[in-house]
Amino acid sequence: MKTALATIIASGLRKSFLLTMLASLAIPNGHNARAADAAGAPPGFVSLFNGKDLTGWSQRNGTATYRVEAGTIVGKTSDGSPNSFLCSNQLYGNFELKLEVKVDSRLNSGIQIRSQSVGDTPGGRVNGPQVEISTDGFAGYVYGEAAGGWMTPDSDRKAHQNFRENQWNTYHIVAFDDLIQVWLNGEQISNLRHEERFQSHSKGFIGLQVHGIGRGQGPYEVRWRNIQLRDLSEFKEVYNGKSLDGWKTTGNWLPQDDGSLLIHPREGEKGWKRYDDYIWLKRTYKNFVLDVEYVYPPGGNSGIFFRVGDLSDPVTSGIEAQILDSSQKKGAMGHHDHGGIIRTVGASENMSRLPHQWNRMVVTCVDSHLELELNGKQIIDMDLNEGAMKDRPLEGYVGLQDHGVPNNLKFRNIRIRELN
């Protein structure tokens, strides 16, 4: 693979090959899915719906109907039918799912994840976690369909107005071990850990629900499109949420009760040249996908370093993706703004969240090709051989920057997948 990649990079087809390679890694067992780059999804996603027919899907339960219309799956209620589900034939465990949905205002619906059916038969009762689709203010919370009721605690289910009635809505779901995260139209709704349901439903199908209705009601419809999935089964957590095992630092990095990692510089610790105070993974990485969440205070400043050859001087021997509160930035983004590659290139778009809101950065390195995704949007796509980073090593350490007081930031859900 390395020889083929080098040849294709040399021939100017670097990006298309990277997408093809990541797509082939994304879905196990030869699932018939296409690379989703044409639909605007980041690398590594594949489409679960071909836009033409229901290949790869099967109906379970109920008598609602499902059809394909103008590149959209349309589910239509059936008089007196119980809940119906259009389910993926493929099973998924750890994954990231993106889709769009529009639903009649009188209909409740949902997205089944890691779900099962009793007896593993089409008529067996579908059960498992369900991400809510509704217009009642509770869209995006997680329900246990035939599996105990609400998984999101009552205290966390607060009504909101993020679901757009009679419009297309974007769902972004990450399921990783016992964690289920949901963003609705770009706003995070759920950050749920549920060990019990993970133990009973660690893997299963994706299901598109048409909720049952009483006799004499409807018909109502729900529509889905741009259904894309990135497999996370090969990612490994490199921060365990409890200790600094696997890391090295002299800085004041403090594991928190919520599973995050706080950098709280000590009094007098200022500036960014205290490289021992950065926190480093103890081993090196070459080709990889790095997935990190973080939250900054107003004006917060940090960075994600990778391929660092010399820990005594990471600035000149490695690459830094900038973390900075650029939420009020107007105009073009520079290389020192959020998501930029320091001394190289700025983000194509300002995807910064407001202070105290969690951001998610995904960095993909394959030989000289670097792509960076911030909060669901690809903002960097570059060849490291064509700029200031051309002398950097192709393998090195990964770390997080301690920028000194008053830059208290939290990090969580730090995962990496090696592509070597």
pLDDT at 65: 97
Calculate the average pLDDT of the chain. Answer: 90
pLDDT at 120: 86
pLDDT > 90: what percent of the chain? 85
pLDDT tier for residue 217 given thresholds of 50, 70 and 90: confident
- Calpha distance 61→197 (Å, rounded): 22
CATH class of 236-418: mainly beta
Helices (H), 276-375: 314-317
- Calpha distance 163→150 (Å, rounded): 19
User: Is 50 exceeded by the pLDDT of residue 21?
Assistant: no
Give Cα 374 to chain centroid, integer Å.
10
The pLDDT tens digits of the residues spanning 233-245 come to: 999 999 999 999 9
- Answer left, alpha or beta for residue 81, where phi above 0 means left and psi between -120 and 50 means alpha: beta
Q: Which of 94, 98, 124 is nearest to 111 (CA)?
A: 98
- Calpha distance 21→372 (Å, rounded): 17
The pLDDT tens digits of the residues spanning 230-283 come to: 999 999 999 999 999 999 999 999 999 999 999 999 999 999 999 999 999 999
User: Is 70 exceeded by the pLDDT of residue 22?
Assistant: no
- Calpha distance 368→4 (Å, rounded): 14
- Calpha distance 401→296 (Å, rounded): 13
Element (H, E) at 152: none
pLDDT tier for residue 216 given thresholds of 50, 70 and 90: confident
Pairing of strands 359-366, 288-295: antiparallel
The answer to whether domain 32-231 and domain 236-418 are alike in fold is: yes
DSSP 195-213: HHHHHH-SSBEEEEEE---
pTM: 0.87
The pLDDT tens digits of the residues spanning 77-88 come to: 998 899 999 999
The pLDDT tens digits of the residues spanning 81-140 come to: 999 999 999 999 999 999 999 999 999 999 999 999 999 888 899 999 999 999 999 999
User: Is 50 exceeded by the pLDDT of residue 1?
Assistant: no
- Calpha distance 245→224 (Å, rounded): 43
Ordered by start, the domain boundaries in the chain are: 32-231, 236-418
- What average pLDDT score do residues 180-199 get? 96
> Could you say which architecture CATH assigns to the domain 32-231?
Sandwich (2.60)
